[in-house]
Amino acid sequence: MSDEIQQHVDKAYAYAKTFCDEGHVADYIPALAEVDPLKFGMAVALPNGDYCCAGDGDEAFSIQSVSKVFTLALALKCLDDTIWDAVGREPSGSSFNSIVQLETECGKPRNPLINAGAIATTDRLINGGSAEDVVAQILTFMQQRAADPTVYIDDRVATSEAGSGARNRSLAHFMSAFGNLKHPVETSLSAYFCQCALAMSCRQLARAGLFLAFGGKDPVSGERVISAEHCRQINAVMLACGHYDNSGEFAFRVGMPGKSGVGGGILTIAPGRGAIAVWSPGLNQAGTSFVGSIALEHFTRAIGWSIFE
């Protein structure tokens, strides 16, 4: 079975690679602007512990907003449904760092996968403790999920974003003004910038997402990570909101719950089958990897892993 999947990965990789000079690397975070735009990796993690990889699938990159899926999982695990007091679960139809809805909707972000929603989620996870403790908790969670202790937070990226994060500061202050942040703005933001600076390879990211394809249980270790109900909820939110104003297009073309990051990574979940991660730094207008989405579309069509199949 994994030989056949490897062939599909190789074909999708070869096809998508021809588009590698299209898309634009995120440059509003200076450290991300330095990344080689021609990098391209892909990895599928399977429930028997096997992997199918291609290209730069073992090179660590900045996972950025893909981290929001994992902090949502942690928030549901630790705080249960109370997280929905802080964030909604409707698509925003706006860009990832948009502020417009926050005013008319009284500082409650539409969903946990836009920046405002992720900042509010991380703020709730801090739960009266320190930003450092929550960052350590997130890092440990990611190392466990990836089954790899080498997963790390790239301090250079976190510092770079903190130094250029006026937009996220605006979102956070706006929510704070409505009473929807429980900690000082800089406390919540410092944890948020660190989670976005998690550095992982496609292989590690796909492995980390595997529990979301198997009802909240890690199929390799057998560990129950989150409840089956929370897992369903996360997949639903990913499908509807994982790519901001490009979520409908991604669902249309790829047909799987997914989450993009401006580092060029995308994690997609094929329920009951596996998890797929791609990385190519050139982005489309919504901040989703241009080549990554082509590879995923090609792969899922060929192998029939769309949830609508």
Q: Is 217 a catalytic residue?
A: no
* 275 token code pair: 């998890």
168 binds ligand GLN (CB under 6 A): yes
Q: Identify which of 223, 201, 211 has the alpha carbon closest to the alpha carbon of residue 277.
A: 201
Query: Would you call 182 a catalytic residue per the annotation?
Result: no
CB nearer to ligand GLN: pick between 107 and 215: 107
Residue type, 28: Y
Q: Is residue 97 within the footprint of ligand GLN (CB under 6 A)?
A: yes
Residue 262 annotated to the active site: yes
Q: What are phi and psi of 42, to 5 degrees?
A: -155, 145
> Which H or E element spans position 276?
strand 274-279
Sign of CA dihedral 117, 120, 124, 130: positive
| Site for ligand GLN contains 176 (CB under 6 A) | no
Query: Helix %, strand %, coil % for the chain, to 5?
Result: 50, 10, 35
Q: Which is nearer to ligand GLN, 168 or 176 (CB)?
A: 168
Active-site annotation holder among 244, 247, 280, 293: 244
Q: Least separation, in Å, of the C-beta of 192 and ligand GLN? A: 7
Active site residue 66: no
d(Cα 112, Cα 110) in Å, to the nearest integer? 7
Q: For residue 115, state whether it binds ligand GLN (rule: CB under 6 A).
A: yes
94 binds ligand GLN (CB under 6 A): no
Pick 64 or 187: Cβ nearer ligand GLN: 64
Tokens of 225: 């990570």
In the block, residue with structure tokens 């320190």: 130
How far apart, in whole angstroms, are the C-alpha atoms of residue 113 and residue 254?
18
92 is a contact residue toward ligand GLN (CB under 6 A): no
**C-beta of 306: minimal distance to ligand GLN in Å?**
24
Q: Does 196 bind ligand GLN (CB under 6 A)?
A: yes
String marking each residue 244-273 x if it binds ligand GLN according to CB under 6 A: -----------------xx-----------
Alpha-carbon distance of 116 to 245, in angstroms, equals 15
Neighbour count for residue 30 (Cβ, 10 Å):
15
- Determine the 3-state secondary structure of 243 from DSSP: coil
- When the beta carbons of 219 and 264 are compared against ligand GLN, the nearer one is 264
Of 97 and 144, nearer to ligand GLN (C-beta) is: 97
- In the complex, least distance from residue 219 CB atom to ligand GLN, rounded to whole angstroms: 27
> Active site includes 247?
no
Q: Does 154 bind ligand GLN (CB under 6 A)?
A: no
Contact residue for ligand GLN among 56, 123, 154, 161 (CB under 6 A): 161
**Is 215 within 8 Å of 159 (Cβ atoms)?**
no
Non-local CB neighbours of 254 within 8 Å, separated by 6+ positions: 268, 293, 296, 297, 300, 306
For ligand GLN, the closer of residues 123 and 218 by Cβ is 123
64 binding ligand GLN? (CB under 6 A): yes
Number of residues counted as binding ligand GLN (CB under 6 A): 11
* Contact between residue 21 and residue 38 where contact means Cβ atoms under 8 Å apart: yes
What type of residue sits at position 94? S
Residues assigned a catalytic role? 65, 68, 192, 244, 262
Residues near ligand GLN (CB under 6 A) are 64-65, 96-97, 115, 161, 168, 196, 261-262, 287
